[in-house]
Structure 1
Amino acid sequence: MNPTSPEREIFVQNAVKWSSNNFMSGHPDLHQKLAKIYWREKNFTLAKFHFLYSRDSYGCALMLIELHNNHGYSNEVELFIAQVVLQLLCLKKKSIASEIFEIYVSQHPKIDGGPPYVHPVLNFLSCLLNTIESRNYGLFTTICKQYTTCLTKDPCIIQYLDKVGHIFFKSKPSQGNHEGLLNSFLNSFFDGFSSDDTTSYQVNNTLLAQVAELD
């Protein structure tokens, strides 16, 4: 089917719904096949979305590496993996998030060794994944405070972290756009965001709405 055909989008939606008998969001194997098709067509937005609901950690990591190498700046190497890791944690897929992170940092040609990494967000993600294993709420708040400055590079990160805290550490969920667990030490940074800084928030608005419904 032609990628621009409206019928194909409807077909994909119906196929995912049809496959959702035992998987609320659709069968992971179907999502993997869809992700690879969109990846081949260079539709990275939809490829990433379907990889999130698949079990293909290796394919997702390689797709993110290609996406960054072809469309990202050097200083964004950490942000391309940060969103996916946090989105997967919000979907309660901690093991897959860890696998994708490890593959991404080990395979990306612009990441040299670690931990510790040159890029602070990568260090934060590494600490976060280990902290989730220990379920140490005090350590969670400590590392969030420690990495406050770098975390505000992407406004979506704040909302994802608020949900991660609620899921894994039983913290109080946010009551507004920028309230909740991280409000006390992150809220002051939002006033300085430009319109460009909110682009990734708009792109990920659908997923944010979905994870907001999770307990």
Structure 2
Amino acid sequence: MSQPSRLEKKAQDCIDRGEFYEAHQVYRTLYFRKTQQEQYDDLLQILCNGSKKLGDVKEALSALDLAELYAETLLKSKTEPSEKIFEQLSSVGGYISLLLQLCDPSFPIPSADSLNKFISTCVKWSQTVASRRRERKHGLSELHYVIAQAFLHHRNYVNARNHMLFADHPEEFAKLLHTIREEGGSKSSEAEIFCVLPFLQMLTTVWIFHKITGWAGPIVKLLAMHRVHTASKLLTAYLAILNESPSCNGCRQELFNFLKMLCSALNLHDVRFAYSKQVPVKVIKFVQVKLFDHLVEAYKPHLDVDPTYHSYLEKIGQIFFGNPPKNKNDSFGGLFGNILKGIDLRVLGEKKEEDEIFSDSDFEAGSIHTGRSETEDAYETAEESEMTECDRQNPPPKRATEEIFDDLD
């Protein structure tokens, strides 16, 4: 890196003399000058150093302000994510290290609104530079993992769990769920409820986790986002932890068994499996539908413990098995409607585009609370507010089916 400029030396002198406000203003001056000159590489390094130095002296708001400028610079310059960039962010105290520092229990965390703006900008940047379809929609998985770790260090388990849903670290997610279970003082017989919702939610791509109260089930959430493989790994890791924990003796297995069989049913959707076994796809679909319906009916007494489970399962049935939505507004009435209700459209060939089914899944195309939690605001801003009505009404052409399976977890 080039030698420190005169203004950088002046900022350091201000910090040494305890003139933190003046140092902050010097860094902001550097930000405007470097931005005007489009010297983004130098600017990122300067803001990283400045945010870390101000954080070290407990100037939380000033440090966060520079971190926000850092994130805005990333967004404006569209800096590509790379090993070098992430290494820089971690080693020199960029926005990731700053967030970890701000979430240290001994360091007072700024207001929720300030932190939300910072996280929202980071997610926007990661969406613009992501290459995987899911990450273009929700942000880089590695970014979510680091943010989740930051909230975990601050014992903010709600936001940590929400971000961990979008990180490809199912083993770490399982440890977090186990920590939540232990610190929540649950009984050993209640261990299953902590894993169910996240598991299902990975399969539906619906942003409703902020509405869920209690700690029941990250595994349900993973299925809701179409991430079958990740959800399966989460379930396996969580069960392994329970088996090694003396406090979990006598844990009930009904819902765990249900999730295992649900994953088996979902794996039948893999077209490559059908081709490898030379089984007609219609036969696979028929078996799938019947298996799913039977599973839900057989385990209904256990699923009834939380009405939320049925909401996710209904969505999963629509996405993966072609189930029609419940008749809130039945457009067909009288005899004709009754006739249609007697026909199993799923088996007779109602077609759902493969690209639609796996639009946010493990099979996608591409190369890699308080009240309303910060994640909801961030994602709503990033993926919806910038879409025009024209974009929503005229989606891009569907990709070919054979391109869907090149982005497994």
Q: TM-score, normalised by structure 1?
A: 0.76
Gap change, CA 1:42 and 1:170, over 3 Å in 2: same
Higher helix share: 1
Q: Deviations over 1:31-80 (max 9, x none)?
A: 00001111111111111110111101111110001101110422321111
What is the distance in 2 between the residues matched to 1:157 and 1:43? 24
- In the alignment, is residue 140 of structure 1 matched against residue 292 of structure 2? yes
The structural deviation recorded for 1:112 is 5.8
- In the alignment, is residue 171 of structure 1 matched against residue 277 of structure 2? no
- In the alignment, is residue 3 of structure 1 matched against residue 101 of structure 2? no
1:191 maps to none
1:80 maps to 194
1:155 maps to 307
Tell me the SS of whatever aligns to 1:19.
helix
Q: Deviations over 1:113-144 (max 9, x none)?
A: 9xxx8321111111111111124110111011
Query: Which stretch of the first structure deviates more once superposed, 133-142 or 28-37?
Result: 133-142
Which residue type is aligned with residue 78 of structure 1? E
The structural deviation recorded for 1:24 is 0.9
2:332 maps to none
1:60 maps to 173
Q: Mapping of 1:7-22 within 5 angstroms?
A: 7-21=114-128, 22=130
What is the distance in 2 between the residues matched to 1:175 and 1:45? 34
> Which stretches in structure 2 are left out of the alignment for 5+ residues?
1-101, 103-107, 131-135, 203-222, 270-287, 329-370, 381-409
Question: Rg: which structure is higher?
Answer: 2
Which residue, out of 152, 166, 180, partners 1:39?
152
1:186 maps to none
Q: Mapping of 1:49-128 within 5 angstroms?
A: 49-74=162-187, 75-88=189-202, 89-108=223-242, 109=245, 110-111=247-248, 118-128=252-262
Tell me the SS of whatever aligns to 1:83.
helix
Which residue, out of 141, 146, 153, partners 1:28?
141
How many residues of Structure 1 are paired with residues of Structure 2 in the alignment?
178
Tell me the SS of whatever aligns to 2:167.
coil
> Which stretches in structure 1 are left out of the alignment for 5+ residues?
177-201, 211-215
Tell me the SS of whatever aligns to 1:127.
helix
What is the distance in 2 between the residues matched to 1:174 and 1:85? 23
What is the distance in 2 between the residues matched to 1:158 and 1:65? 24
Verify the 8 A CA contact 2:142 2:167 in the aligned structure 1: yes
What is the distance in 1 between the residues matched to 2:118 and 2:327? 37
Which residue type is aligned with residue 84 of structure 1? P
Which residue type is aligned with residue 261 of structure 2? C
Verify the 8 A CA contact 1:90 1:167 in the aligned structure 2: no
Question: After TM superposition, which residue ranges in structure 1, 4 or more long, deviate above 6 angstroms?
Answer: none
Which residue type is aligned with residue 122 of structure 2? A
Gap change, CA 1:112 and 1:140, over 3 Å in 2: farther
Query: Which stretch of the first structure deviates more once superposed, 26-35 or 6-15?
Result: 6-15
What is the distance in 2 between the residues matched to 1:30 and 1:36? 10
- In the alignment, is residue 130 of structure 1 matched against residue 264 of structure 2? yes
1:197 maps to none
Verify the 8 A CA contact 2:192 2:252 in the aligned structure 1: no
What is the distance in 1 between the residues matched to 2:306 and 2:118? 33
Tell me the SS of whatever aligns to 2:138.
coil
Verify the 8 A CA contact 1:68 1:77 in the aligned structure 2: yes
What is the distance in 2 between the residues matched to 1:11 and 1:86? 29
Which residue type is aligned with residue 117 of structure 2? I
